Structure 1
Amino acid sequence: MKLGFLTACLPQRSLEDIVTWAKSKGYEALEVAAWPALGNRPFTATHLKAESFGSGDVERVQTLFRQHGLTLSSLAYYDNNLHPDPVLRRDINQHVLRCIDAAGLLGCPTVGTFVGRDPTKSVKENLRVAEEVFKPIVDRAGEKGVKVIIENCVMEGWHPDGYPGNLAYSPELWEWMFSIGLYLNFDPSHLMWIGIDPVEAVRPYLHRIPHAQAKDVQLFPERRNRYGFFGKTRERDNPWDVGWWRYRVPGLGQVDWVRLIDAMYEGGFDGVLSVEHEDPVWGGTEDKVKTGLEIAHRTLRPLLVR
């Protein structure tokens, strides 16, 4: 198991800068952000331009990683593949395909995205649509020797009432994903706040998890007594502020990393564990973000076998 991080937390830095810094801090892998230029959306970045990726880019990126002894674990483009606007949906689906093509050229084993959701349709209706949407994506991935991995983020901020906006949040939905050729980019933090034990949840599915993310979560049950499970409604100016929990870097929340990593080793996981930094305490400035990544490294590195 190697320790890496998702580069989206450093959107203003070049890939060259991030690779150099990651190596100096003892990281072994990077999950590279590959969103198209989308403006100022939080937790997104463009460290690899999949839409214009060519042979010269392949050589540059492979040489960069090889010279620093790092692994390129995944290309990351997490967006709503079931977007209700058909034009936006088509654009998103097409960019996933471009990421798969770039990953194939690089020899990168995975591309990460979301299933997403059309909030005007029921879950069952969305799943039927998703089977059609993802068929060409899964087929292209198979042709390129790449696995499409879906993060189990709830994406409650995408739904107008805070309901799940990404239909990949539970083991029941993972089994559906696996049946259509998708894999899981496992993140324990999302399971904690919806009441699922991530250790027990991960055990049966490790053979379908080629990549995992490391994010922690801090829960405030006393606040849940005011807002309920679904979080703020009347007072929710920020769609991502549910009021009774927040994401943290590993070691500053309530995920039992010792128990979780032990279960992953026991189940045979030997992929990359990639820190996804969305901690509001250690965010806001580049220096704080880097400190958060160092905290995550100090927490997780002692638990991984060299």
Structure 2
Amino acid sequence: MSLKYGAYTACLHDRSLGDALDVLKDAGLSGAEVNVGGFIPSPHCPAEVLLGSQAARDEYLGVFEEHGVELTGLNTSGNPLSPLPEEGIIQAHELKRGIRTAGALGIKEIVAMSGTPGTDATAKYPTWIVNPWNGIDLDILDYQWSVAVPFWKEIDALARDNGVDVCLELHPRNLIFNVPAFERLINETGATNIKVNMDPSHLFWQQAEPIEAIKRLGSHVGHVHAKDTKVFPGVAYRGVLDTDYGHLPPEAAGSAPCAVGHDCSVWPEAPAWRFVAFGLGHDEQYWADFLKALSDVNPNMVVNIEHEDAEYGNVEGLKISASNLLKAAARLG
């Protein structure tokens, strides 16, 4: 038994599924995670077609077999709790459809985000509360939890019926963005099929320690994204809760959609932190210790690279990450 190493194909959406799988195979990886809804398109997984036909499912899985790469997860990260109807309603539907698709394909894990409601029942936009020193903010959180708990109870039941674990990213701008919030969700929902997608990059920028989080969460870790973060000297005066971002110019190339009609913002020129290719923020021994902690929880854990380092091209960055991940894995023996 050993950890399974692969990659999330979102960084290869400009390629066909077969070509994307060849890139992963050439990088020494054996697994793939594909998008099936949420913030970004899903060119590598035609969910509606797959749900409607066993023959289509057999043919689809045959592509992975042909290229020597296992389908190890689906991804539908979005904001299913958003008060924006073109976001929340659609992405909640895509999450549910993704769970059913995973079940039909025999895939046990789907990555998602908890989502973020608005301030109250009349709100138009999502609101992320991170430091509720003001009682007003606690009132907002009370409302948001009143929305999240019944929704995630429903999702948990659907996941259980389909034999799937929904693995939440502890991601900024989500109600569930750290370990205590996840623990609260489990306590208030009684969920059995809601787990954590352990993406260390999102813990690093919060100044949390992923290895300690793994030890605390234990079997609640259901899936892993291999992604790194580097903290820069600018953190000394910016801190990690920085709003000094900019709008993406309309003529910019290579934009990344993150909501209906919106792209990801432009980072500050001298950020406090940013995502980097795996192994460029922390050294090989750290990652070997990280993988050992995961193996102690589940020796068959799926570990998929998520490449989001803008300093490198998509294939180049993915290969750097794969090389560093496999070197760290080799230290496990």
TM range (shorter): 0.7 to 0.9
**TM-score (normalizing by structure 2):** 0.79
Please report how far the alpha carbon of residue 240 of structure 1 lies from its aligned counterpart in structure 2 after TM superposition: 5.7
Unaligned runs of 5+ in 2: 121-139, 249-264
Q: Does residue 134 of structure 1 match 2:131?
A: no
CA RMSD across the alignment: 2.1
Which residue of structure 2 aligns with residue 275 of structure 1? 305
Asked if structure 2 preserves the Cα contact closer than 8 Å seen for 1:51 and 1:95, the reply is: no
Please report how far the alpha carbon of residue 119 of structure 1 lies from its aligned counterpart in structure 2 after TM superposition: 4.1
Q: Quick one: distance in 1 between partners of 2:209 and 2:305?
A: 19
Q: Does residue 52 of structure 1 match 2:60?
A: no
Deviates further, 117-126 or 132-141? 117-126
Asked if structure 2 preserves the Cα contact closer than 8 Å seen for 1:2 and 1:28, the reply is: yes
Asked if structure 2 preserves the Cα contact closer than 8 Å seen for 1:215 and 1:247, the reply is: yes
Amino acid at match of 2:147: V
Q: Does residue 252 of structure 1 match 2:280?
A: yes
Q: Quick one: distance in 1 between partners of 2:205 and 2:87?
A: 30
Amino acid at match of 1:171: V
Amino acid at match of 1:271: M
Amino acid at match of 2:155: I
Please report how far the alpha carbon of residue 98 of structure 1 lies from its aligned counterpart in structure 2 after TM superposition: 0.9
Asked if structure 1 preserves the Cα contact closer than 8 Å seen for 2:240 and 2:273, the reply is: no
Q: Which has the larger radius of gyration?
A: 2
Which residue of structure 2 aligns with residue 64 of structure 1? 63
Structure 1 residues 223 and 303 mapped into 2: Cα distance closer, same or farther (>3 Å)?
Answer: closer
- Secondary structure (helix, strand or coil) at the match of 2:19 reads helix
Q: Quick one: distance in 1 between partners of 2:195 and 2:71?
A: 18
Unaligned runs of 5+ in 1: 155-164, 283-287
Which residue of structure 2 aligns with residue 303 of structure 1? 328
Map Cα deviations across residues 148-186 of structure 1 (whole Å, 9 max, x no partner): 1111121xxxxxxxxxx1122211012123343211111
Which residue of structure 2 aligns with residue 209 of structure 1? 221
Please report how far the alpha carbon of residue 120 of structure 1 lies from its aligned counterpart in structure 2 after TM superposition: 2.4
Asked if structure 1 preserves the Cα contact closer than 8 Å seen for 2:229 and 2:276, the reply is: yes
Asked if structure 2 preserves the Cα contact closer than 8 Å seen for 1:178 and 1:208, the reply is: no
Q: Quick one: distance in 2 between partners of 1:276 and 1:189?
A: 10
Asked if structure 1 preserves the Cα contact closer than 8 Å seen for 2:37 and 2:91, the reply is: no
Q: Quick one: distance in 1 between partners of 2:94 and 2:311?
A: 32
% same residue: 28
Alignment length (residue pairs) = 284
Please report how far the alpha carbon of residue 100 of structure 1 lies from its aligned counterpart in structure 2 after TM superposition: 1.1
Matches within 5 A, 1:176-255: 176-179=184-187, 180=189, 181=191, 182-220=194-232, 222-233=233-244, 236-237=246-247, 239=265, 241=267, 243-254=271-282
Q: Does residue 118 of structure 1 match 2:129?
A: no
Asked if structure 2 preserves the Cα contact closer than 8 Å seen for 1:5 and 1:275, the reply is: yes
Match of 2:12 among 1, 6, 10: 10
Amino acid at match of 1:10: L
